[in-house]
Structure 1
Amino acid sequence: MTTTPEPRRAPASPAPDQVREPAARPAVRVVSVVYHPGAELPDFTRSLAAATSAPVELVLVDNGTDPEVADRVAAEAGGRVVRTGENLGYGGGANAGARGATQPFLVVANPDVVWEPGSLDTLLDAAARHPDAGALGPALLNEDGTVYPSARELPSLTQGAGHAVLGKVWPGNPWTRAYQRRQETAGTERYAGWLSGACLLLRRDAFEAVGGFDEDYFMFFEDVDLGERLALAGRPNVYVPSARVTHVGGVSWKARPAAMISAHHRSAERYLHRRYHRWYQWPVRAAVSAGLRLREVVELRAAR
């Protein structure tokens, strides 16, 4: 079973003379993967403008076939569009957008994220306090203002099974609580097993050193996999709840719920099979596949 090494902990806060002045904040490339975007994309770029004083290069990666919205919004925001020629999925699209970057930091964020003013600056300041961190993530708010558990532990087999079976019918079950660490969601900065890919600040050198996102994950679990590989490389994931963004959420799900449900279960199966890959763990893999197929059927019926 894969374990996450305990990273070296940086001081909880910097000394006053270590705090970056706004003009000293490093440059950032912001990458957002879009697929037939709507009104959420202009909201993303408008809020990004107020989120940081750092030099920003905006790159929209268009996985879709209708260029009108992406081209218009990129022109208005002073960004550029990368055309993939096909739908590469989230991780593949993010890698395409990050390719060739020279900035020390990358942001990978969903186009349905709305940044609170100064929120990216808060993440950059946290990165200065945690020089070993490979990824930093903000508090991810739902539309109703509640905090989504975006900083989680790497799932053990029992946690994953308990969460998968009981998470929706008994949200407070002990396996889901342990996995999501809900009681710590609105707390102080801390290390996490992985951070939601809906909004991530990444050190470019760390991201490139682990090979970026694994493109075998078309959608979902690419962020779990990345967080695990960063931590194993000694570049931990840091949750920064003082930085806040709102995730409108479900834009892709609302358009294609059945496809998204199936993609989620295929990615979960791929991740767990890779975690339990040894020959003698074949019963685990078989049980995982059977359980996920059953859960997928139930969720597809409920989505009709």
Structure 2
Amino acid sequence: MLSVLIPFYGDPTDTLDLLTQLTEQKLVETHEIIVSDDASPIPFPEVPGVKLVSRTANGGFGSNVNSGTEAASGEWVLILNSDLTLPPSFLEDMLDAARTELEISGSGVLLSPQVVGDDGKSQWVGRRFPKTAHHAWEWFTPVARFRDTRFWHIMVGHDTKCQTGKRAETDWLMGACMMLRKADFEAVGGMDERFFMNSEEIDLQRRLADQGIKRVFRGDIVVRHAGGGSSGGSAQRRQWVLNSRFIYNKKWDEGLLLAPILKAVSYLNFVFNTFRSLWNSAVKPRRILQEELEFIKKAEAQ
């Protein structure tokens, strides 16, 4: 049996649309659909045929996935962001792929399809376990202009062999659409609820890796992801991302250099922005520096 889990918070429109897509899927086997409501200000409505889990406190993505998975009855749990557009045979294809990969691995597997944005571009599902160097490169403003180059993607830790149409084993897979056995999820303790938003799937997959469970990208299955459906404004997202990186670094003993290196990069950004401000008065180097240092200061306190 397959359990399809949708963590929910916010506006129910996207989740209701996803439920409609799921009812139109081709899957002859028994499956259940679970919506886990993370104490949303707009409670998710009761929908016939959908198991609703209502949390009493907002704990973030990882906590919500834990609650939904606890209620799952299936051998396999497929975790879906609400803002996905699925191909007609998606459930059947994912279940077939999961079983095939389980036979190959002989132990366990977590897998994800290719995920593209509304523009059709890859969202770089497969990635390397993060290092301070990856974070520093992404924090460095002058190189942002090279975001569409292969070199930039490598420098931030994207696994460039994970391409549409291909299969690849990688360190970790983006959490927008991932599938694994409930028993494997529970065996490593589920998601670490210290992560409110971001990095919880990296931490989970690092623990799965320690147990010999493979993380497999299946680029022969493709879904579309609008992105940002469960996040706040850009400043809030940036703080969440940075907070999670500091928590991850501390947990996995990735060294104590993240804060000083990011601060050093912020001062390099300040120099770069000072030159930019000479021909663009809208650029405020000192304000940008203060904002970046404040982000780091808050994240250090995690």
TM range (shorter): 0.7 to 0.9
1:168 corresponds to 2:168: no
1:89 corresponds to 2:60: yes
CA distance in 1, matches of 2:9, 2:33: 16
**Mapping of 1:62-77 within 5 angstroms?**
62-68=37-43, 70-72=44-46, 74-75=47-48
1:41 corresponds to 2:15: yes
The offset of 1:269, in angstroms, is: 1.2
Return the match for 2:129 from 136, 154, 173: 154
Return the match for 2:242 from 262, 265, 270: 265
CA distance in 1, matches of 2:128, 2:201: 12
2:33 matched residue in structure 1: 58
The offset of 1:211, in angstroms, is: 0.8
In structure 2, runs of 5+ residues without a counterpart are 268-288, 296-302
CA deviation map 1:27-57 (0-9, x unaligned): 1111111112242112211122234413221
Bigger Rg, structure 1 or 2: 2
CA distance in 2, matches of 1:156, 1:216: 19
1:99 matched residue in structure 2: 70
1:287 matched residue in structure 2: 260
| 3-state SS of paired residue (1:129) | helix
CA deviation map 1:134-184 (0-9, x unaligned): 311011110122221011111233333223426633212635325212353
Alpha-carbon distance change, 291 to 37 in structure 1, aligned in 2, over 3 angstroms: farther
8 A contact 2:125–2:173 mirrored in 1: yes
Return the match for 1:256 from 233, 240, 246: 233
CA distance in 2, matches of 1:190, 1:43: 31
CA distance in 2, matches of 1:84, 1:296: 37
1:123 matched residue in structure 2: 94
1:236 corresponds to 2:230: no
CA distance in 2, matches of 1:218, 1:193: 21
In structure 1, runs of 5+ residues without a counterpart are 1-26
**Mapping of 1:132-211 within 5 angstroms?**
132=105, 133-165=108-140, 168-171=144-147, 172=149, 174=151, 176-177=153-154, 179-182=157-160, 184-211=162-189
8 A contact 2:164–2:219 mirrored in 1: yes
CA distance in 2, matches of 1:50, 1:194: 30
CA distance in 2, matches of 1:245, 1:182: 18
1:176 partner amino acid:
H
CA distance in 2, matches of 1:150, 1:297: 29
| 3-state SS of paired residue (2:33) | strand
| 3-state SS of paired residue (2:133) | helix
CA distance in 1, matches of 2:23, 2:137: 41
1:12 matched residue in structure 2: none
The offset of 1:93, in angstroms, is: 0.3
| 3-state SS of paired residue (1:220) | coil
Return the match for 1:297 from 275, 282, 291: 291
TM-score by length of 2: 0.79
Shifted more, 117-126 versus 231-240: the winner is 117-126
CA distance in 1, matches of 2:290, 2:37: 28
The offset of 1:117, in angstroms, is: 1.0
8 A contact 1:269–1:289 mirrored in 2: no
CA distance in 2, matches of 1:293, 1:86: 36
| 3-state SS of paired residue (1:251) | coil
CA distance in 1, matches of 2:263, 2:67: 34
Alpha-carbon distance change, 243 to 192 in structure 1, aligned in 2, over 3 angstroms: same
CA deviation map 1:240-274 (0-9, x unaligned): 11112111112233x43332221111001111222
Alpha-carbon distance change, 181 to 71 in structure 1, aligned in 2, over 3 angstroms: same
1:226 matched residue in structure 2: 204
